[in-house]
Amino acid sequence: MDELRTQRLILRRWTADDEKAMVEINRDPEVARHLNRPVDEAAIAAFHGLVAGHWEQYGFGPYALESREAGLEGRFLGFAGLAHVPPFLSAAGEQPELGWRLARSAWGRGLATEAATAARDDAFERLRLPQLISIIHPENERSQRVATKLGMQPSRQIHNPALDLDVDVWALDAPAG
């Protein structure tokens, strides 16, 4: 599945044209404030290759988000979708993490929830995953609200050595049936 559509978004595979826009999003200090790893120039430069490579290796990954809204058609907004947890957070478990990161200009309109809902549903329906997790910084109230709207609940804390901080692991089991 290379593309999902919602009322206001297209969730799609990454293109080379997305790299520059994602670099700008990742450089925004407010966007990066509650990430699970420090964001330096090396991490910013490597991000696009990592997400594109995840798709190639696993057949799924974080989707690039593109607006379908009137007057904003085609605008790159960030990402939402699944990725395997980095080794330094392996205490979270082996299941893929559902994550999202949007440009600050896209905040406050429910787009993260809309995108993450589509990615969640795809993970349970197409990929038949038994459970999803999201690793959320304990001060990231915005992501906590999105996770709650997705039906996720805090399940435990793990230590994040990159931040030297305990972070929350939110979980959601696949619907029965």
Give 23-72 as a DSSP string: HHHHH-HHHHTT-SS---HHHHHHHHHHHHHHHHHHS--EEEEEE-STTT
Residue 56 burial (CB count, 10 A): 9
Look up residue 3 and give its two tokens: 């593309």
Q: Is the pLDDT of residue 4 over 80?
A: yes
For residue range 111-155, list pLDDT tens digits in order.
Answer: 999 999 999 999 999 999 999 999 999 999 999 999 999 999 999
pLDDT score for 1:
67
pLDDT score for 50:
86
Q: 12 near 3, Cβ under 8 Å? A: yes
For residue 105, give the 3-state DSSP assignment.
helix
Q: Is the pLDDT of residue 45 over 80?
A: no
Q: 20 Cβ partners below 8 Å, 6+ apart?
A: none
Half-sphere exposure of 35 (CA within 13 A, CB side): 19
Report the mean per-residue pLDDT for the chain: 92
Look up residue 5 and give its two tokens: 């559509």
Q: Is the pLDDT of residue 39 over 70?
A: no
- CA distance to 33, 34, 35, 135, 158, per residue, from 140 (Å): 9, 6, 9, 10, 16
For residue range 80-120, list pLDDT tens digits in order.
Answer: 999 999 889 999 998 899 999 999 999 999 999 999 999 99
pLDDT score for 133:
97
Q: 95 Cβ partners below 8 Å, 6+ apart?
A: 129, 130, 131, 132, 133
Q: How confident is the model at residue 163 (pLDDT cuts 50, 70, 90)?
A: confident
pLDDT score for 53:
87
Model's pTM, two decimal places? 0.92
Give percent of the chain with pLDDT exceeding 70: 96
